[in-house]
A and B are shown apart, each in its own frame.
Chain A
Amino acid sequence: MRSVQMVHRARSSHIGSALSIADLLAVLYGGRLRVDPTRPAWEGRDRMVLSKGHACVALYAALAERGYFPVEWLDTFYQNGTLLAGHATAGTPGIDVSTGSLGHGLSIACGMALAGRRAGADYRVFTVLSDGECDEGSTWEAVLFAPHHRLDNLVAIVDYNKIQSLGRVEDVLNLDPLADKWRAFGWAVREIDGHDLAKIDAAMDTLPLQAHRPTCLIAHTVKGKGVSFMENRLAWHYRPPEDDELALALEELTSA
């Protein structure tokens, strides 16, 4: 809800991408991530890298709800001089890694996971990728890397909403069978409904899925989830809701 309001107020974009990960972030920041909002730089925290940085409004909303910063800050999103940029940016309380260009986050997460393991630390590293960024060759360099180094403290969540920037994934550059690809590279993979809070939560219970292997959760999601006229519609990668659309969207999200 807050994401939709932010995008509406800011006249910005990517609301569809944010809504597709809102439920995933709700579970992570609702308690599954071992973090302490009063100590954002705490050494022992679980790391969360939003590799699909364009969906940052969902992250900002989650961080505000979790108590990293006042909810009022969300009003400053996208405005001159704000801490809440149009892509996730380090320096915002709760955000360790700046992203925005696709195909970077998984490599950084790999480095963090490897450093943690070498230091004997028990934190975990989560990263959320888009399906579109699975087009990037750099993503697959990192997909090769993590199993080789047995990074079972690493969890990659692919937001598989099946729509990328200019069309349906299957039409632009088909990824299927996506789970098989990750599996073939050596990851322990589980496919989940990325909007079923109980199932997402249950998947978090069993991490790592397999000892000595990194975990990949392929979350089947719906772009624009929760707002009937946004769901699976490419236009909402770009346009903000008008006033009447905002009211309608908020009504649908509230009643859900």
Chain B
Amino acid sequence: MDALFQAAEADSRVTLVVGDLGYSVVDQFAARFPNQFLNVGVAEQNMAGVAAGLALSGQIVFTYSIANFPTFRCLEQVRNDICYHGADVKITAVGGGFAYGALGVSHHATEDLAIMRSLPGMTVIAPGDPTEAARAVPAVIARSGPCYVRLGKAGEPQVHTGPIDFRIGQAIRVREGGDLTLITTGGLLANTMAAAEELSRQHRLEATVFSMHTLKPLDTDAVVTAARQTAMVVTIEEHSVIGGLGGAVAEVLAEQDAPRARLMRIGIPSAFDSRVGTQAYLRERHGLSVDALVGSIAGAVTAPAI
């Protein structure tokens, strides 16, 4: 949000459009930049269409809502009105994955990356920590055309301790190791890094870790290099195993000439989970906690290749 403040301050074309959500988050923005703010009400189809109209008239528009509302609810407007026109609309969803876990399936954003990734012209970004999120704001402004930015909730753990080189379409290597490669996107970066440390400590397995903050365009060089340099590539995401990070990496590796690394996709099965709870609880249930990641990855590495 600070980054968006700076952007709005620096460029009067930057406009924030919300679908009546963002309590205690957007009001300061609205007070500071009344001419660059718009609350369309609980009307996401209109939000996407109005955003397209604003963008076609020269604005750089951020739409903002929770989980699936700024994407699925208005998917055809996103496709036809925003993507087909190449409109400068940056769709921002808060609550990626199980961030609103206790609110139930309606608020679980677990297929958004797959669907947004399939739209022509759409850039798809899921920052791994607050530093990446802050850097994503100016990056999507500088990138002309539609973008989807998937955020977690406020209070995500900080992973990067120093400055980072954040470029759209370029994975960030956050750890070096020769045994296997862990590729993650979005808010599971912290768990992935912790799992890598535990794999080293408990199993003497050294992992390279990539924060794949941009899902589209995918950093295929990073994927291909990982598959050449380590024996196993593991994708880790708080998203369906269909069509998201795991799907994208599988698409790249499937077209590579042998020899290549084995691929293991860790994510959410394509099934609704009516059990609700905190994000930590639901991550645990779906094998995304640090312990579960360590167990499944170590097990796969030591299992014989099929």
Q: Which residues of A contact B (CB under 8 A)?
A: 90, 96-101, 103-104, 106-116, 118-119, 137-138, 141-142, 144-145
Closest to B53 in A: A111
The stretch of B38-46, B133-141, B240-248, B257-265 that contacts the partner chain? B38-46
- Do residues B53 and A108 form an inter-chain contact, with CB atoms below 8 A? yes
The 6 A-B residue pairs with the shortest CB-CB distance in the complex, in nearest-first order: A111-B53, A107-B49, A115-B57, A141-B46, A141-B43, A111-B50
Are the C-beta atoms of B85 and A90 separated by less than 8 Å?
A: yes
Question: How far apart sit A169 and B38, CA to CA, in the bound complex (Å)?
Answer: 35
Residues of B within 8 A of A119 (CB): 57-58
B52 contacts across to A, CB distance below 8 A: 107-108, 111
CA distance A234 to B232 in the complex (A): 62
* In the complex, residue of chain A having the shortest beta-carbon distance to the beta carbon of B34: A118
Q: B-side interface residues toward A, CB under 8 Å?
A: 35, 38, 40-41, 43, 45-46, 48-59, 76-77, 80-81, 84-85
CB neighbours (8 Å) of A138 from chain B are 45-46, 49, 77
| Shortest distance between the CB of A145 and any CB in chain B (Å) | 6
Q: Once the chains are docked, how many angstroms separate the CA of A120 from the CA of B85?
A: 24
How near does chain A come to B54, taking the closest CB pair, in angstroms?
4
Contact A109 B53 (CB under 8 A): yes
Q: Is the CB of B50 within 8 A of A108?
A: yes
Chain A at the B interface: SS class: helix
The complex places the Cα of A109 from the Cα of B40 at a distance, in Å, of 14
Contact of B46 among A99, A118, A145 (CB under 8 A): A145
A111 proximity list for chain B (CB < 8 A): 49-57
Query: Chain A residue with minimal CB distance to B89?
Result: A111
Interchain Cβ contacts within 8 Å, total number: 87
How near does chain B come to A186, taking the closest CB pair, in angstroms? Answer: 14
Closest to A137 in B: B45
Q: A104-B81, A145-B40, A145-B41 are in contact. Are A112 and B57 (CB under 8 A)?
A: yes
Contact call A107/B81, Cβ cutoff below 8 A: yes
Whole-angstrom CA separation of A104 from B45 in the bound complex: 8
Q: Collect the chain B residues with CB atoms within 8 Å of residue A100's CB.
A: 80
8 contacts between A and B (CB under 8 A): A98-B80, A104-B76, A110-B50, A111-B53, A112-B56, A115-B53, A119-B57, A138-B49
Question: Dominant SS at the B interface?
Answer: helix
The reply to whether B80 and A96 contact each other, CB–CB distance below 8 Å, is no
**From A108, A116, A141, contact of B81 by CB (8 A):** A108
Interface centre among B35, B53, B76 (most CB of A within 10 A): B53
User: What B residues does A144 contact at CB under 8 A?
Assistant: 41, 43, 46
- Residue of A99, A106, A111, A118 with most partner-chain B CB within 10 A: A111
Residue of B nearest to A49 (CB): B53
Q: How far is the CA of A128 from the CA of B38 in the complex (A)?
A: 25
> Is A108 a contact of B56 with CB atoms below 8 Å?
yes
Q: For the complex, give the distance between the alpha carbons of A141 and B45 in Å.
A: 8
Q: Nearest chain A CB to B164's CB is how many angstroms away?
A: 35
User: Contacting B80 at CB < 8 Å: which of A104, A114, A115, A141?
Assistant: A104
Which residues on A sit within 8 Å (CB–CB) of B53? Answer: 107-115
Complex Cα–Cα for A81 and B14 (A): 36
Please measure, in the bound complex, the distance between the C-alpha atom of A114 and the C-alpha atom of B57, giving whole angstroms.
9
Measured CA separation A107–B48 after assembly (Å): 8
CA A186 to CA B50, docked complex, whole Å = 18
Report the bound CA distance from A101 to B85 in whole Å: 14
Q: Which residues from B are CB-within-8-Å of A112? A: 53-54, 56-57
CA–CA, A72 and B58, complex, Å: 33
Q: Determine how close the nearest CB of chain B comes to the CB of A126; give it in whole angstroms.
A: 13
Residues of B within 8 A of A142 (CB): 46, 49-50
With A98-B85, A101-B80, A110-B49 given, is the CB distance from A145 to B58 under 8 Å?
Answer: no
Task: Give Cα A138–Cα B80 distance, bound, in whole angstroms.
Answer: 14
When distances are taken between beta carbons in the complex, the residues of chain A under 8 Å from B56 are 96-97, 108, 111-112
Query: How far is A108 from B55 in the complex, measured between Cα atoms in Å?
Result: 10
Docked pose: A99 CA to B35 CA in angstroms: 28
Q: With A and B bound together, what is the CA distance between A100 and B53 in angstroms?
A: 16
- The distance in angstroms between the C-alpha atoms of A96 and B53, with both chains bound, is 10
Distance in angstroms from B15 CB to nearest chain A CB is 8
Q: Which of B40, B45, B58 contacts A115 (CB 8 A)?
A: B58
Q: Which of A104, A110, A119, A137 has the most CB of B within 10 A?
A: A104
